[in-house]
Amino acid sequence: MIDSHCHLDFPDFDRDRDKVISNCIALGVDQIIIPGVSSLQWDKALQLRKKQSCLRVAIGLHPLFLAQHTTEDLTALDTVLSSNSDIVAVGEIGLDYYLPDSDRQGQRELFIRQLDIAREHKRPLLLHVRKAHQEAVQILHEHNHYGGVVHAFSGSLEQAQQYIEMGFLIGVGGVVTRPNAAKLHRTVREVSLHSIALETDAPDLPPVWARGERNSPEQLPAIAQAIADIRGESLDRVAEESTKNIVNVLELS
């Protein structure tokens, strides 16, 4: 299995990162993708990749940290992508309108600039979109960028299908274990298994049985089982197909 979105570089894992990775490999989670959130964090993720071949890295500028990002960071994004072919995607990037005072125009401009850079370097995307799916889909259409993973998908089935038509996978993590997540359950049940990517978003968004605790990529097999139960399919099939999906979309070797 592949965890398509896990912040294993965060300080939450500094005390036991190697043990967590060993446990994951024993559980069958043999690749973990670390997404980028700010330019200050990219180097640590890339250094971890050098030490652990099971780790893969994406770099990007997260919309929630808009106030921290500078024009120089966009230049750095272009430069690092030019010098490191090992980076699997640009992300996590996107739009987050959850807070009413969000700088929506600033987020849009940052998103579009990163889309242009990703297209230039022919990289897929790890998308972070919250309360802004219709606008994100429109921007992706306008800027002709197709392919990647919509991380922690929270939209409707119809919106999921719009992303899928553009070559995106639907990222599903611990939220799917919540009994009240009816909208997500419908999406997981009705989209093709060929359009689903497993993720944890650790250390955030733990499954219900770990609520209040640090989430971990070690939870991925149980999340996959929850998806299998919702779909009425075997765990082996969910694990196999979701892995193929991520390998194909992110062009992993």
Yes or no: say if 114 and 61 are a contact pair by the CB < 8 Å rule. yes
5 is in an annotated binding site: yes
Q: How far apart are CA 22 and CA 18, in angstroms?
A: 6
201 is in an annotated binding site: yes
Work out the number of other CB atoms within 10 angstroms of the CB of residue 11: 9
Work out the number of other CB atoms within 10 angstroms of the CB of residue 65: 14
SS3 content of the chain, % helix, strand, coil (to 5): 50, 15, 35
Q: How far apart are CA 239 and CA 231, in angstroms?
A: 13
121 is in an annotated binding site: no
Yes or no: say if 98 and 132 are a contact pair by the CB < 8 Å rule. no
Sign of CA dihedral 85, 152, 157, 134: negative
128 is in an annotated binding site: yes
Yes or no: say if 202 and 23 are a contact pair by the CB < 8 Å rule. no
Single-letter residue type at 40? L
151 is in an annotated binding site: yes
The annotated binding site for a divalent metal cation is made up of 5, 7, 92, 128, 151, 201
The annotated binding site is made up of 5, 7, 92, 128, 151, 201
